[in-house]
Amino acid sequence: MAYETILVETRGKVGLVTLNRPKALNALNSVVMEEVVAALQAFEADEAIGAIVLTGSEKAFAAGADIKEMQEKSYIDMYMADFFAGWDAMTRIRKPIIAAVSGYALGGGCELAMMCDFIIAGDNAKFGQPEITLGVMPGMGGSQRLTRFVGKSKAMDMCLTGRMMDAAEAERSGLVSRVVPAADVVEEAVKAAEKIAGLSLPAVMMNKEAVNRAYETTLTEGLRFERRVFHAMFALDDQKEGMAAFSEKRPATFRNR
Ligand code: HXC
């Protein structure tokens, strides 16, 4: 499929989606949303793919939702279109998605990175929710997800002042899992994705589902969910293979079943 605003490629078992609106610093308009969701869904359906990386350019992962597209819209336009709701489809992707963030991840860009399963940042990354400076607020999950990532105090600071967080602060605060040299961010994310894609896909998906459950429920219910899924994993051929390989001191060959 030909896309207008993204580049899509595969690297072995890894699907790579690159935001590609360089003149607008990858601002997220409706076309970007439709294309990113379509590309992710295609990788989700492709049995050869085990993990996905979402990235932008070295200067900008994405500088936000497209301000020029939103500027003249009215309340009723936004409400009837359920503006931004299309991104929810991304959170229904069951394969892991790693955000490789270099440069600006602002507003919707920061929110898009947070919709991924984890974030690997280049040392030049800058995260922020500057919507307040435009007279609005985050609309793609920033007020909720950022608060869960970094806690109330920093989330309030970011949302109320619009200030940016650099890569070191983002790592310290738990927003990103690793910081690497900016030039290596895609390579490092692809390497992490390759590692994941070499493991048992059902086990990977169940791990993802369980960690995500921690954000949706109480500790008691989350632990109950974890234990049930853990027990269920003993029905996987891959559990037998993984444990046999350990005992026999050989690498495991997972068959995704
Ligand atoms: C549309 C954008 C854009 C955006 C940048 N551009 N960000 N267009 N929407 N979010 C465009 C600029 O207009 C410009 O186009 C080109 O990209 C290059 O940007 P510059 O500003 O010239 O680059 P630079 O001076 O390097 O500054 C980079 C920047 C700045 C600091 C990232 O662009 C910036 O502050 N952008 C806006 C960040 C922001 O507020 N994001 C939140 C958006 S709201 P031209 O044609 O002039 O060359 C959001 C949530 C929405 O995400 C929720 C509310 C409903």
pLDDT in tens, 147-160: 999 999 999 999 99
Question: Whole-model pTM?
Answer: 0.97
Q: Which residues are catalytic?
A: 65, 108, 111, 131
Report the DSSP beta bridge partners of residue 15.
Answer: 10, 52
H or E stretch covering 203 = helix 201-213
What ipTM, to 2 d.p.? 0.96
Among 25, 33, 133, the mutation site with the greatest number of ligand 1 atoms within 8 A of its Cβ is 25
Strands 178-180 and 126-128: unpaired
pLDDT band at 52 (very low <50, low <70, confident <90, very high): very high
Q: Which residue has its alpha carbon closest to ligand 1 atom 6?
A: 24
User: Does residue 104's CB lie within 6 angstroms of at least one atom of ligand 1?
Assistant: yes
Tell me how far apart the alpha carbons of residues 193 and 204 are, in angstroms, rounded to a whole number.
Answer: 11
pLDDT band at 1 (very low <50, low <70, confident <90, very high): confident
> Is the four-CA dihedral 35, 176, 118, 17 of positive or negative sign?
positive
**Ligand 1 atom nearest 106 alpha carbon:** 41
User: Does residue 142's CB lie within 6 angstroms of at least one atom of ligand 1?
Assistant: no
Tell me how far apart the alpha carbons of residues 71 and 89 are, in angstroms, rounded to a whole number.
Answer: 24
Would the pLDDT of 184 be above 80?
yes
Q: 30-56 burial string, b = 16+ CB within 10 Å, else e?
A: eebbbbbbbbbeebeeeeebbbbbbbb
Helix (H, G, I), strand (E, B) or coil at 6: strand
Tell me how far apart the alpha carbons of residues 12 and 190 are, in angstroms, rounded to a whole number.
Answer: 10
Would you tell me how many other CB atoms lie within 10 Å of the CB of residue 64? 28
